[in-house]
Amino acid sequence: MKKTKVYKINSKKIVINILFLLVIFIIFNLLTSSILGKKEIKTTDIEIKSGDTLWGISKSICEKDSSLNIQEVIYDIKEINDLDNNNIVEGNVLYIPIYE
């Protein structure tokens, strides 16, 4: 006759293990978001006027700071404003990065 093994579930150990994994996940998430995460950029807002383009807006920003690259500024503007393309609409508000 075969003996059957009876396993007892220790709920205290399960809860401790889950909490431990949760703490590890939170620490890992905090470390990776601060190291690999998005950089924080201060912004100001402007109202888009007729004839404004992302290139023109970025160019005016880069003229004030020669260390900036127009394409990188365009990328930042698109990222901040969640834009999929370069189309901007007159009358809308656009958040512009402030580089220090």
DSSP secondary structure, 40-89, as one string: P-EEEEEE--TT--HHHHHHHHHHH-TTS-HHHHHHHHHHHTT-SSS---
**DSSP-derived secondary structure letter, 97:** E
**CATH number for the domain running over 42-98:** 3.10.350
Predicted TM-score (pTM) of the model is 0.60
> What pLDDT does 32 receive?
72
pLDDT tens for the chain, 100 residues long, are 677 777 777 888 888 889 999 999 888 877 776 566 556 678 999 999 999 999 999 999 999 998 999 999 999 999 999 999 999 999 999 999 998 8
Q: Nearest to residue 47, comparing CAs of 97, 99, 100, 96?
A: 96
